[in-house]
Amino acid sequence: MRGMNLRQIEVFRAVMTTGTTTEAARLLHVSQPGISRLVRHLELQLGVALFERRGGRLVATAEARELHEEIEKVYRGVLHVRDVAAHLRFGTKTTLRVLSSANTALQLVPRSIAALVGQYGTARVLFESLPTREIVKLLVTEEADVAISSAPLDHPALHIEEIGRWELLCALPADHALLRSARPTVAEVLAGRLVVYSPEAPQSAVIDHWIEAQGVARNVAAEVRSGLAACSVAATGMAGAFVDDLSARAHRPEGLVFTALPGAPSFPIFAVRNRHRPLSRLGTSFLQIAHEQLVALRATLLPLHKAALR
């Protein structure tokens, strides 16, 4: 193809496709003599015969077929580039890499991804739920695009924006003695066996800080890494737990009840991205959808036991 320009490539391909200069001209919306002149000029330029004239049709030579094979490879590449450019405009056929903390990965992020893919049908989302330190690492190294986290992520390279809040609830086994009391207290729950969180859990710091503020020593029965695991352990009857409402909403109700806490302490949910890497249209849409999904999720009332703590 050395020495061929884009117009020559387009005309040559049209002739190969249609078999006549007349049909090629109709395909390209130009005159037939112009096509014939360009083909003759191309043959002179390349120094080889590209077509044999037989009964009003052009029969491609072996050289023309070889040239056409290479041109088709390039043409497919050009079409791909054109498609990519169009998809960039409309935010489709793009890969978005989303990270999440454990509790936002239960319902909020999956629902947001489903809504995003419903809006951009050819979009592809890579989704992982990871510990906080891994989320920070991947965002800083630009190996991920955005994260939804229930814990603050501290790094100068990260842009952190609050998109909503989660509330703290008490999870108790359905047959817990305190539930037979009209007004059980937080102190009474803390005096019993508790499920607590390991330092790696995203809500560990905020829940531990809240418990410490109650001025009661914890009686630890088990340590877990997620609110959903805390719910599952509490449902066995082993101990009570303080859990975020995102985990509570995702837990099946068997064997466990949730009670409200006085003042219903709440904590932020963050959208996080690398401040040095502008988000794609797909990423921007995802964050907007995540905010909307969080509002919708919180609007769905969570059944709470009538014996609210005091």
Question: Would you state the pLDDT for residue 91?
Answer: 52
Q: Verify that 70 and 149 share a domain, yes or no.
A: no
CATH number at residue 23: 1.10.10.10
Q: Verify that 44 and 121 share a domain, yes or no.
A: no
Supply the range of the domain harboring residue 83: 6-90
Question: Cβ distance 279 to 145 under 8 Å?
Answer: yes
Nearest by Cα to 99 from 129, 125, 123, 124: 129
CA distance 125 to 97: 6
Q: Verify that 114 and 258 share a domain, yes or no.
A: no
Q: Verify that 257 and 291 share a domain, yes or no.
A: no
Q: Verify that 86 and 102 share a domain, yes or no.
A: no
Q: Verify that 257 and 176 share a domain, yes or no.
A: yes
Per-position pLDDT tens, the chain of length 310: 456 888 888 889 888 888 888 888 888 889 999 989 999 998 899 889 998 888 778 888 999 899 988 888 777 777 667 656 655 555 555 789 999 998 899 999 999 999 999 998 888 899 999 888 889 999 998 889 999 998 888 889 999 999 999 888 888 888 877 777 767 777 777 778 888 888 777 677 777 778 788 777 778 888 888 888 888 888 888 888 888 888 888 887 778 888 887 777 788 999 999 998 888 889 999 999 999 999 998 887 766 666 555 5
Concatenate the DSSP letters of all residues of 230-252 into one string. HHHHHHTTS-EEEEEHHHHHHS-
Q: Of 90, 124, 146, which residue constitutes the final position of a domain?
A: 90
Q: Verify that 81 and 104 share a domain, yes or no.
A: no
Q: How many domains does the chain have?
A: 3
Question: Would you state the pLDDT for residue 1?
Answer: 46
Question: Would you state the pLDDT for residue 167?
Answer: 87
Q: Tell me the sheet residues that pair with 266.
A: 167
CATH number at residue 121: 3.40.190.10
Question: Would you state the pLDDT for residue 79?
Answer: 65
Task: Record the tokens describing residue 208, joined without a space.
Answer: 């531990």
Q: Verify that 11 and 145 share a domain, yes or no.
A: no
Q: Of 90, 110, 134, which residue constitutes the final position of a domain?
A: 90
Q: Verify that 175 and 243 share a domain, yes or no.
A: yes
